[in-house]
Amino acid sequence: MAGNVVEITESNFDSVVLKSDKPVLVDFWAVWCGPCRQVAPVVEALAGKWAGKVVVGKLNVDDHGAIAERFGIMSIPTLMLFKGGEVVERIVGAMPQATLEKKFESHVS
């Protein structure tokens, strides 16, 4: 994981995501997923841009399938923004950074 991106697992999901006092962007991904690799630099760029304001993490759906199932992840990459423990935005598929920023900006500022 890049410097500003945390690894999210089944054991830390509740504390890192649901109990965070900041918005949390979770990238649901897998090693074998081409579009996931395509969106990874965008997620890392957002983590750098929003450092201190948003927690950005990645959850490998192959390693932590119970969490993916809990949130109905059917396709990856799926990016979900949590605020106060609730999902406030969900995006499926790889998108340019500007598009993702626009989708999330109302929840970040």
Q: Residues near 61 by Cβ (< 8 Å), separated by ≥ 6?
A: 28, 29, 30, 67, 68, 73, 76
Residue numbers annotated as active site: 33, 36
Strand pairing category for 86-92 and 78-83:
antiparallel
